[in-house]
Amino acid sequence: MKVLVAVKRVIDYNVKIRVKADNTGVETANVKMSMNPFDEIAVEEALRMKEKGLATEVIAFSAGPAQCQETIRTALAMGADRGILVQTDAELQPLAVAKLLKAVVDKEQPGLVIVGKQAIDDDSNQTGQMLAALLGWSQGTFANKLHVADGSAEVKREVDGGLENIKIKLPAVITTDLRLNEPRYASLPNIMKAKKKPIEVLAPDALGVDVAPRIKTLKVEEPPKRKAGIKVKTVAELVDKLRNEAGVI
Amino acid sequence: MAILVVAAHDGKTVRANVANAVAAASQMGSDVHVLVAGSNAGEAAKSAAALQGVAKVLQAEDAAYGNWLAEDIAPLVVKLAPNYSHIVMAADSVGKNVAPRVAALLDVAQISEAIQVVSPDTFVRPIYAGNAMATVQSGDKIKVVTIRPTNFKAGAGGGSAAVEQIGGTGATGLSSFVGAELSKSERPELTSAKIVVSGGRGLASGENFKMLETLADKLGAGLGASRAAVDAGYVPNDYQVGQTGKVVAPDLYIAIGISGAIQHLAGMKDSKTIVAINKDEEAPIFQVADYGIVGDLFQIVPELTAAVEKK
């Protein structure tokens, strides 16, 4: 079966973001961009399935401006076979991305879609679940372990109190959590090879998807700053402060 | 129009964060209903009826709802949705799994982890791991919202709402529950604990976390960890406090051997009082700590444990 993975281009996780002075958003000009870390885990999981003979082809999907090709190239350098970019400069929200993904799924008919559980920019944690809903598929969210066999998948999920095991029918959507795997680095020869792999570029219109945002961002602000407190010298002093000043113990 | 809070529960009582979700819902409108779906959920429904600010509880009995599979719960919520202006869930592992599925089936957007209700259609939510706050307005007819429980104060209780039985929607057969491996602990649950003791990479091993357990037990505290400590395999992932783990806001948060990466701060910086114990005086954790001690945690923690004992 084919496995489709979705990769999002986000501000690199090491960059300290800056809120724009006019409060319309976060500064992205001249900022290092990378693949969303949870999506790297998604790519890695798909590649491992291919290496085990469980997947025949790994397709990397992205949606957004032309520069998202770089993010797809990263997935191709890791080992994905080909890419699909839905190119648009419009703001894309999770529901719109899920609809674009659905259109691509209808076309490509993968047996499994793997996406990161959330993107580290908007922190929505929605796209995978929404895609599963739109397709009428099962969903294995926050996956810690994935075992695919005989038309179904066993998914170990990260839940509030620990872990949970579910069995889901394929086709399905999986969303990755941190401990699912450790993504590989692309080797130089593979980076070179990736340059020759095909990326198909589509427009949202061609897929018949209306990507108009449903949520309007009114403003983006800095969070309230917490003031640094004091340093104490001894444990006795600390306990005294906690007891008599803060009154928390 | 009324507001529907979808409540997760353990069969006996609704989760503590349902009270926070009801408090948030009460800021969106006045007529708050709570949906308690389950197999044998009578007790849980009663506990929801006792929450302050609840006008009505809908109890849906169906064997399919026993284990909170999103594929089976979502159709029930979708069926009820036309009667409501808002669907609200706590942003825990149940809400995060179910709410987006509901939203997509309704063809509406979802607002994730609201921390403030500005008006019935406008919410504040953290983005970029809490390094920016976005005020967002929903244009959809039905607003599906998950709320961050620590930002909404639970009511006192003492409610006496009526419980109405409603029918179930059956199983889709798409997924089935196999089992759970839940961490067994006598300690308070992280997100509702009044005091949280957290350890980081500075602990150097899982074995050394025992030291924190002793301190936590003395304080009646929950035990947490940084992502670095989880990644290093010292403790299980459900200990993780931070952007990719749990968000906590206790009265007292004690960060031990935690440097204070942005992603960790996102999960604890709303705590009332923060204590940091770290050997590196330049560690970013000190920038948010009310009280800091620079020094060797292996010396300080036992001392602290002994000191809190003496009243």
B201 with B280: CB under 8 angstroms? Answer: no
Q: Is A227 helix (H, G, I), strand (E, B) or coil?
A: coil
A4 with A113: CB under 8 angstroms? Answer: yes
Q: Sheet harboring B84-90: ordered strands across?
A: B110-114, B143-147, B84-90, B2-7, B32-38, B56-61, B162-166
Is A245 a member of any domain? no
Q: Taking CB atoms and an 8 Å limit, are B133 and A222 in contact across chains? A: yes
Cβ neighbours of A23 (radius 10 Å): 15
Q: Is-same-fold flag (B2-166; B190-309)?
A: yes
Domain with A125 in it: what CATH number?
3.40.50.620
Q: What is the ipTM of this complex?
A: 0.95
Q: How many CB pairs under 8 A join A and B?
A: 249
CA angle A64, A66, A67 (to 5 degrees): 90
Q: Which fold has domain B190-309?
A: Rossmann fold (3.40.50)
Q: Sheet harboring A230-231: ordered strands across?
A: A230-231, B291-294, B273-278, B252-256, B195-199, B222-225
Is A235 a member of any domain? no
Tell me which CATH code domain B2-166 carries: 3.40.50.620
B131 contacts on A by Cβ (under 8 Å):
16-17, 223
Three-state SS annotation for A126-175? CHHHHHHHHHCCEEEEEEEEEEEECCEEEEEEEECCEEEEEEEECCEEEE
Closest residue in B to A160 (Cα) is B93
Q: How far is A173 from chain B (nearest CA, A)?
A: 12
A140 contacts on B by Cβ (under 8 Å):
175
B300 in reach of chain A (CB within 8 A):
yes
Q: What are the sequence ranges of the domains in chain B?
A: 2-166, 190-309
**B81-129 pLDDT, tens digit each:** 999 999 999 999 999 999 999 999 999 999 999 999 999 999 999 999 8
Q: How far is A192 from chain B (nearest CA, A)?
A: 31
**B191-239 pLDDT, tens digit each:** 889 999 999 999 999 999 999 999 999 999 999 999 999 989 999 988 9
- Averages of pLDDT over runs of 10 residues in chain A (249 residues) are 98 91 95 97 98 97 98 98 98 98 98 97 97 98 95 95 95 95 95 97 96 97 89 95 93
For A102, phi then psi, to 5°, come to -60, -45
Cα–Cα distance for residue pair A139/A108, rounded to 1 Å: 19
Is A29 a member of any domain? yes
Q: Taking CB atoms and an 8 Å limit, are B134 and A129 in contact across chains? A: no
Q: What is the number of structural domains in chain A?
A: 1
The parent domain of residue A115 ranges over 2-224
Is A87 a member of any domain? yes
Q: Give me the pLDDT at residue A16, please.
A: 86
Q: How far is A153 from chain B (nearest CA, A)?
A: 9
Q: Give me the pLDDT at residue A155, please.
A: 98
Is residue B72 pLDDT above 90, yes or no?
yes
Q: Give me the pLDDT at residue A7, please.
A: 98
Which residue among B69, B109, B129 places its CB closest to the CB of A215? B109
- The pTM assigned to this predicted structure is 0.93
**B252-268 pLDDT, tens digit each:** 999 999 999 988 998 99
% pLDDT > 90, chain B: 87
- Please state the separation of Cα A247 from the chain's center in Å: 42
Is A52 a member of any domain? yes
Which residue among B107, B179, B292 places its CB closest to the CB of A231? B292
Between positions 250 and 289 of B, the ones with CB within 8 A of A are: 251-252, 262, 269, 272-275, 281, 286-289
Q: How far is A64 from chain B (nearest CA, A)?
A: 18
Is A237 a member of any domain? no
Is residue B141 pLDDT above 80, yes or no?
yes
Q: Helix count (H) and strand count (E) of chain B?
A: 8, 16
